[in-house]
Structure 1
Amino acid sequence: MISFVYFILFIIFLYKCYFNATSKARKSLPPSPAKLPVIGNLHQLGLFPHRSLNELSELYGPLMMLHFGSVPALIVSSADAVRERVKNQDLIFSNKPNLSIMHKIVYGCKDIAFAPYGDHWRHVRSIAVLQLLSNERVRSYRHIREEETSLMIEKIRNLSSSSTSLINLSKLLLSLTNDIISRVVLGRKYGGEGSENFEFMLKEIGELLVAFNPGDYDPWLKWINRVNGLNARLEKVAKSFDEFLTRVVEEHRSRKQGKTDRDGSSNEVDSVDILLEIQRENSSSSPIETDTIKALIFNMFGAGTNTT
């Protein structure tokens, strides 16, 4: 009987310790609206998440904790709070969320945008800043921007003179962006007439980038992606885009070795040429994998030419 009493007292002691610890942890966290089981605060985002977050921040302050499924998220909605995190505590908040869709499309997140903070991210960032996007490099592509802009203006002039219907400027401007990025990054244009499969592939990528993925919020909800077809779409577009990028890289390698002509490409050095040259020059000291090259191409080209 005495041992049973001691056991009950021990259980009460453990419960009190746990309750005090969790209470202290809750007190140290930012304020948070009440959450529902499984989905957390997802139901409070609504059709316009930016408006919902603004309304919640007015109630709970510039620092607010929300739970998207089982994933906690710190919502920062004031300039001072943002400055504190990006300048004074940048190392703590420097990592990106591990999104399964991006992990599949961007070769295990070997790019710049979604790579975890560390040596690899610093390496590819230095390549982008010093080699691909330096002031001198950007200025060297000025004539491409001017040529493509002139072509667009000429197209508008022809359309306005031959037709009385409205001209879709949004489509023309998007086409202009696609053509400039294609020439700068890949060496030639891949959009336009006869490229429906290519444009459909980019459209699919754009839609998948913003698709709601339940598995990112609760791991046990991953099975939903097999039912709603998200996994099948992801596998198909990732395979198609990888085949396209592999073909582009191999074409550039062959041209460098003098095995093939440029197939309508200019003789200018594009981003793929630069990345392959870096790969050759740093094969032993700081090697860069082919998958990393393709991931960087995606950052500069695939995301930039979103046709959604």
Structure 2
Amino acid sequence: MAPVHLDPNLLLSAVFVVSCFVIIRSLWSGRKDDGRVLPPSPPPLLIIGNLHQLGRNHYHRRLQALARCHSPLFLLRLGSVPTLVVSSAPVAEEVLKTEDHVFCDRPLQHTTRGLLYDCRDVAFSRYGERWRQLRRIAVVHLLSAKRVDSFRALREEEVASFMERIRAAGGAHEDDNGGRKRRAGVNVSELLVSLTYTVISKAAFGNKLGGMEPGAVRTKTRETNELLETIAMSNVSS
């Protein structure tokens, strides 16, 4: 089979047409805000909006810095998607309590839909009758005081194991470059993550964790969290 050769001029023309379409769409999306009073916003760039101001990590610090420059209530554009950011306790109470019926819905991200069965779980499903039924089931059968108290022995056992691991790690010694003994450091964050994971997984799946190795479940959970935290281009261009 002969290799397929693409005409460079045709490829450049296609890129030019797509770029023009994206630019026109971005300009048209910006015009739709005319006539409405919007919260203050840092100046967005064409196409990407304010994505460049979020950086690669520590998003909470970047949002805090933007709130100091603008206001506790400001607007960001993640691509073409307008996003309202609330960084004040009184305003958050107004949004989450007083006007909860207006802000309680949530967007369906493409990454989340692919990972969590089209967002059919209680954490990411759209607000409506189905979500209210899921919340009622979770509160009555999973988060009730009686149900939580039934796992008290499990929590006490795991916390005791957690404290023992801290003692063992804190009492260990390692050689430095001069051959002298020094006390080894303790990664408390890793131990706390392990404790939380063990309590939740044992309460949900039992001691055998559904037949899977604890390390494998932990790895999959970490990968899922990293994917859920990723900002996908498909979420900011729709």
Q: Confirm or deny a common fold (TM above 0.5).
A: yes
CA contact (8 A) 1:69 1:217 kept: yes
Q: What SS does the corresponding residue of 1:66 show, helix, strand or coil?
A: strand
Aligned residue for 2:47? 38
Structure 1 residue 188, shift from structure 2 partner: 1.5
The aligned amino acid for 1:40 is G
Correspondence 1:157-196 to 2 at 5 A: 157=167, 163-165=172-174, 166=184, 167-190=186-209, 195-196=214-215
Give the distance between the partners of 1:90 and 1:131, measured in 2 at CA. Answer: 25
Structure 1 residue 86, shift from structure 2 partner: 1.7
1:132 aligns with 2:142: yes
Aligned residue for 2:221? 202
CA contact (8 A) 1:179 1:190 kept: no
Aligned residue for 2:60? 50
Give the distance between the partners of 2:227 and 2:50, measured in 1 at CA. Answer: 23
Deviation string 1:169-203 (CA, Å, 9 cap, x unpaired) is 33333222222112211112449x96543332222
Aligned residue for 1:261? none
CA contact (8 A) 2:49 2:79 kept: yes
Structure 1 residue 139, shift from structure 2 partner: 0.7
Q: What SS does the corresponding residue of 2:84 show, helix, strand or coil?
A: strand
Aligned residue for 2:3? none
Structure 1 residue aligned with 2:152, among 142, 146, 151?
A: 142
Aligned residue for 2:235? 216
The aligned amino acid for 1:109 is C
Aligned residue for 2:5? none
TM-score calculated relative to the size of structure 2: 0.71
Structure 2 residue aligned with 1:101, among 108, 111, 116?
A: 111
Which consecutive unaligned segments of at least 5 residues does structure 1 have?
1-21, 220-308
CA contact (8 A) 2:197 2:218 kept: no
Give the distance between the partners of 1:25 and 1:217, measured in 2 at CA. Answer: 21
Q: What SS does the corresponding residue of 1:28 show, helix, strand or coil?
A: coil
Structure 2 residue aligned with 1:62, among 65, 69, 72?
A: 72
Aligned residue for 1:90? 100
Give the distance between the partners of 1:175 and 1:157, measured in 2 at CA. Answer: 16
Which consecutive unaligned segments of at least 5 residues does structure 2 have?
1-30, 175-183
Tell which has more relative contact order, 1 or 2 (C-alpha 8 A, sep 6+): 1
Deviation string 1:202-251 (CA, Å, 9 cap, x unpaired) is 221122121231111014xxxxxxxxxxxxxxxxxxxxxxxxxxxxxxxx
Q: 1:194 to 1:120 in 2, by over 3 A?
A: closer
Give the distance between the partners of 1:64 and 1:185, measured in 2 at CA. Answer: 39
The aligned amino acid for 2:224 is I
Give the distance between the partners of 2:114 and 2:48, measured in 1 at CA. Answer: 24
TM-score calculated relative to the size of structure 1: 0.56
CA contact (8 A) 1:39 1:70 kept: yes
Structure 1 residue aligned with 2:122, among 112, 126, 137?
A: 112
Q: 1:202 to 1:24 in 2, by over 3 A?
A: closer
The aligned amino acid for 1:108 is D
CA contact (8 A) 1:62 1:77 kept: yes
Aligned residue for 1:15? none
Give the distance between the partners of 1:116 and 1:62, measured in 2 at CA. Answer: 26
RMSD of equivalent CA atoms: 2.7
Give the distance between the partners of 2:135 and 2:214, measured in 1 at CA. Answer: 32
Identity score, percent: 40
Q: 1:64 to 1:121 in 2, by over 3 A?
A: same
Q: 1:145 to 1:93 in 2, by over 3 A?
A: same
Structure 1 residue 30, shift from structure 2 partner: 1.9
Kindly tell me the number of residue pairs found equivalent between the two proteins: 196
The aligned amino acid for 1:180 is V
